Structure 1
């Protein structure tokens, strides 16, 4: 008997329940480690995400080849998953294909289609685990309905609990395919610096955070000019580490930083929970009344926002950081999102799409609902009348200007790096305009 392990958002060997199940299922017959380059996902990814994914796949391939008893690396094919997964399973004579469940709108539909196609050949799709400590759909109110507010969800989530981490399988015979596409090897643009990908890199980064910034995380996490965050979002996005592993590690530690970090992991799971129950909110408004608001079509000002040329230093620093590293500090994400929606009056979907193109950690649930939170139309949303002032936000969270000076080098020697330079809009005027538009939909 043989089995297929179809990797998606779980590019690791450790603490991977689906891989453990595949290894037990395949037994002496072996396991085919498969990754499908899906044109629908690959085609919407920007260069940063494509490059990072390629690096992560290479790291997984190396891990598979290095494992005791491993005889083949990651098998990468390109095309429609329905066709490619079925073909791969039939080629190696597998009776089951193992996956970690995907609860996203596209992923769940894709998996249902693959499951149906496999069944026509008497092959079973087996879902084990998910990219979350608690899979979406499991944490519900006593009446069986979903939570729509974070705080009660987080309490129920913690009470539900999760299993502990598990070791990778040993002595697995990894199978190969006769014809594969290979892992994409793309040209890296000059000036683009991405984090190191892979399971080992994730573990190193996590250990460094535990031994350093975690202690002061509650104090420093909102300061973009300080290395006070974990930078683990990209590793979670691609499943190079599982949140269970992280929760197990921080459970051994106390302090406010630990409590705050655990809450941030709960927010990630909450947004996945919301998207699972309201899949339309990946593109549409959680609070439908905001769809009636008057918005401006994205044009020249939107392009200046994308390029980091707004004249508002902290906004420009954040947008340039995104282009240069594929990542942006979370406080900066809120500032630039507020600026786009409430200063430039552009609908949140345009900004969310830009982020998903460039962010290496672009998680659909967290990204879309983070944008809706700032735009005032999501769950637990910041009220619309809370319009971030980009100048005061910069001075508050980047008091010495380290963040702005790093990413807006023309202001490196400025006496006040947060003072706008040739701003594209008047913030006070646009704030009044945003509130006027909001008032018109309230009546």
Structure 2
């Protein structure tokens, strides 16, 4: 690769300076680097909620990056617009010879980057993209016949066989090469959320690099117990790093380096979760049809009942199944949901309410703070039994049994369904079974909208057709 006098570093899902592969490459091959972030109007115009938590997370993370640059006399350009137009325009304005960025694996991003690259070629400007989000991607892990894996365990085994410490090496950069403030003062970051059409909102998880490192540090006291405690909703046994990995305030290499310091079953299970993330990204790349339909194409013919009344009650947490309602209310309030709860509510929507998984997937896509297309799609198709390596269609989560097992005292339910606060630890998982023995008025809590045992049999019949 040749050296460049001036390059642009286009930040996207990598909102950090440290251990950023593209930035490290730009730092090595460039005399000066202009940091750029674009609030993509094509993406943002599709967001219905103008208090979208993800936009807030990005906005605040960029403010932190900008402050770090300013403290060193450097600046950052932030634009609202179409990257296909704005990146070439910015390159021409500052006479940049190369754009450095990190790869994205979603279909929209792939096509957008191709258009950007083609526009840049017309002006003899180079476009360089690098693997940064994952340890292995695309064709890195394939079967012996060069076909992609569609079952997780053999993929994971091959992943582990191929990895070594060199894959976790952290990347450095030279702050001195960042463009001085005075050289880009006309385009500096100087607007508020309202100028991109959004309003400020509160966040459950603090954004930015400092918060990511703090989150990782807090997880150090929990990782060894992760295998035993991660599924208990009231125990706070998870890492809360999914948002930071999603927006790149921390790198995947840092996450694995951290986990490799521990030799417990908890650390092993957490690393498996990180590998699942890469598995789903690989699936999305090789099987892009999953974005629009089932991985198992025959499942596109399932005749879901799709009762809108049921869907609305599921969304609002008014199903009469306490663990479902508590999970959905918490989700609506915070934009986050515990991983096992995601499986439980997804199974309930598809197997109990007989509603197409795509409706649930879309609702999560609109509201999940850590929304990632590949993981969200993979998780929903797993629960709906339509995906690769999915839950068998005849295995249907029983919400009451899941509630008893993973919220035995009902602490999580009581926190988010205050109508049930007077129930004891036995009654709270299915209060209407005990309504004649309860010293609590249930008139403020809905009756179950379906009978689980009947719906389970109907779901199995749907898949057999």
Structure-2-length-normalised TM-score: 0.89
> How far off its partner does 1:434 sit?
1.1
Query: Could you say which residue in structure 1 is the equivalent of 2:459?
Result: 434
The residue that corresponds to 1:302 in the other structure is 311
Displacement, 1:345? 1.1
For the aligned residue pairs, the C-alpha RMSD in angstroms reads: 1.7
Q: Which residue number in structure 1 is paired with residue 177 of structure 2?
A: 172
Structure 2 counterpart of 1:71: 74
**Which runs of structure 2 are paired with 1:220-239 in the superposition (5 Å)?**
220-239=229-248
* 2:439 aligned residue: none
CA distance in 2, matches of 1:53, 1:173: 21
Aligned position for 1:139: 141
Describe the shift of the 1:183–1:93 C-alpha distance in structure 2 as closer, same or farther (beyond 3 A): farther
- The alpha carbon displacement at 1:384 in A equals 0.8
CA contact (8 A) 2:353 2:455 kept: yes
Of the three residues 187, 197, 210, the one matched with 1:200 is 210
Question: Can you give the 5+ residue segments of structure 1 that lack an aligned partner in the other structure?
Answer: none
For 2:113, the equivalent position in structure 1 comes to 111
* Kept in 2: contact 1:52–1:194 (CA 8 A): no
Instruction: Report the Cα distance in structure 2 between the residues aligned to 1:90 and 1:183, rounded to whole angstroms.
Output: 26
Q: Which has the larger radius of gyration?
A: 2
CA shift in 2, pair 1:126/1:298, >3 Å: farther
The corresponding residue for 1:36 is 38
Shift, 1:177, TM fit: 6.2
| 1:346-368 C-alpha deviation (Å, 9 max, x unpaired) | 11111111111111100110000
1:88 aligns with 90
Count of aligned pairs:
432
**2:349 counterpart (340, 349, 354):** 340
Question: How many Å separate the matches in 2 of 1:183 and 1:96?
Answer: 29
The structure-2 alpha-carbon separation of the partners of 1:81 and 1:193, relative to structure 1 and needing over 3 Å to count, comes to: closer
Partners in 1 of 2:397 and 2:362 — Cα distance?
21
CA distance in 2, matches of 1:352, 1:248: 32
Deviations along 1:176-209, one digit per CA (max 9) or x if unpaired, are: 36346735254345xx542100111101100110
Which residue in the other structure is 1:275 paired with? 284
Q: Is the 8 A contact 1:8 1:35 kept in 2?
A: yes
CA contact (8 A) 1:345 1:434 kept: yes
What is the rounded CA distance, in whole Å, between the counterparts of 1:272 and 1:400 in structure 2?
Answer: 37
CA offset at residue 425 of structure 1? 1.6
Alpha-carbon distance in 1 for matches of 2:192, 2:43: 15
Q: In the alignment, is residue 349 of structure 1 matched against residue 349 of structure 2?
A: no
Q: Which residue of 2 aligns with 1:399?
A: 408
CA contact (8 A) 1:338 1:375 kept: yes
1:375 to 373, 384, 392: 384
Q: Does 1:422 align with 2:447?
A: yes
* Pick aligned residue for 1:386 from 359, 376, 395: 395
SS in structure 2 opposite 1:125? strand
Name the residue aligned to 2:199. 187
SS in structure 1 at match of 2:319: coil
Instruction: Say if 2:224 and 2:266, in contact at 8 Å, map to a contact too.
Output: yes
How far did residue 387 of structure 1 move? 1.1
1:60 matched to 2:68? The reply is no
Cα 1:240–1:298 shift into 2, 3 Å: farther
Bigger shift: residues 288-297 or 6-15: 288-297
| Native 8 Å contact 1:77 1:182 kept in 2 | no
Please name the residue that 1:24 is paired with. 28
Q: C-alpha separation between the residues in 1 aligned to 2:240 and 2:143? A: 32
Aligned-pair distance for 1:60?
A: 2.1
Q: Distance in 1 between matches of 2:139 and 2:13?
A: 18
Q: Aligned residue for 2:437?
A: none
- 1:209-228 alpha-carbon deviations (Å, 9 max, x no partner): 01x11010000111111110
- Cα pair 2:117 2:127 within 8 Å, conserved: yes
**Structure 1 residue 132, shift from structure 2 partner:** 0.8
Post-superposition offset of 1:137: 2.3
1:2 to 6, 11, 30: 6
**Would the aligned equivalents of 1:141 and 1:147 in 2 still touch at CA under 8 Å?**
yes
Answer whether contact 1:136 1:269 (CA < 8 A) is retained: no
3-state SS of paired residue (1:300) = helix
Deviation at 1:302, TM superposition (A): 0.6
Structure 2 counterpart of 1:266, from 252, 275, 299: 275
Shift of 1:80: 1.3
Indicate whether 1:413 and 2:422 are aligned.
Answer: yes
